[in-house]
């Protein structure tokens, strides 16, 4: 739907009211910025998940951020609010049993980032985080049993 513009009126996409000082009797500020102006465009070259690991983004917290890590086993659990996903990263390729467990739990291997990822939706955010932490602990326990490591590192 289009409207014809009168010479003494300015219209914006979000407003159909006159915005000139002559019509309203007051000075008009700039039209409000669109809600998505500060979001990156789809074609921007965004750093990948692995490039952002350990780096600080201009936001107040790092993304993705580490929820749990076991440096002895080389396993880390991340959450990325930007990508809306949980991620498990292994320093070395784990055994077939561990990989099968990740797959059975609904996690997907992302070759480009070399992570196992699970989507976080607003409806399932809390339960997904809880399940991810349980899976992380289960996987760490499996790896410890495989390599014969001692006590578990605290969460």
Convert the pLDDT of each residue in 119-131 to its tens digit.
999 898 899 999 9
Question: What pLDDT does 3 receive?
Answer: 56
Question: What distances in angstroms separate CA 34 from CA 19, 39, 43, 70, 143, one per listed residue?
Answer: 17, 10, 19, 43, 49
Higher pLDDT pick, 43 / 61: 61
Q: Alpha carbon of 116 to those of 56, 65, 73, 100, 153: distances in Å?
A: 22, 15, 16, 12, 21
pLDDT at site 7: 56
Of 23-37, 42-56, 65-79, 129-143, least confident by mean pLDDT is: 23-37
**DSSP class of residue 29?**
P
CA–CA separation, 147 vs 34, rounded Å?
Answer: 55
Is residue 118 within 8 A of residue 106, CB to CB? The reply is yes
| Domains of the chain from N-terminus onward | 49-147 (3.90.1150)
Residue with tokens 């996903």, as numbered in its chain: 85
Indicate the pTM of the whole model.
0.57
The predicted pLDDT at position 17 comes to 46
Q: What gap in Å lies between CA 5 and CA 137, rounded to an integer?
A: 63
The DSSP annotation for 58-117 comes to SSSS-SSEEEEEETTTTEEEEEETTTTEEEEEESS---HHHHHHHHHTT-EEETTTTEEE
Higher pLDDT, 83 or 18: 83
Length of the chain: 155
3-state DSSP assignment of residue 135: helix
Question: In this structure, are residues 133 and 87 in contact, taking their beta carbons and an 8 Å threshold?
Answer: no
Q: Is the pLDDT reported for residue 148 higher than 90?
A: no
């Amino acid at each position: 739907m289009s409207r014809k513009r009168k010479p003494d009126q300015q219209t914006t996409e979000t407003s159909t009211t006159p915005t000139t000082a002559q019509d309203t009797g007051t000075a008009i500020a700039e039209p409000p910025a669109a809600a998505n102006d500060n979001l990156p465009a789809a074609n921007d070259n965004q750093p990948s998940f692995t490039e952002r690991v350990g780096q600080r983004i201009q936001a107040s917290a790092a993304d993705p951020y580490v929820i749990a890590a076991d440096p002895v086993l080389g396993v880390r659990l991340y959450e990325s609010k930007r990508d809306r996903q949980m991620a498990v990263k292994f320093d070395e390729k784990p055994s077939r049993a561990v990989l099968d467990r990740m797959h059975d739990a609904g996690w997907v291997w992302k070759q480009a980032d070399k992570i196992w990822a699970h989507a976080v939706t607003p409806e399932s955010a809390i339960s997904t985080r809880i399940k991810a932490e349980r899976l992380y602990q289960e996987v760490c326990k499996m790896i410890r049993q495989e390599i014969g490591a001692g006590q578990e590192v605290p969460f």
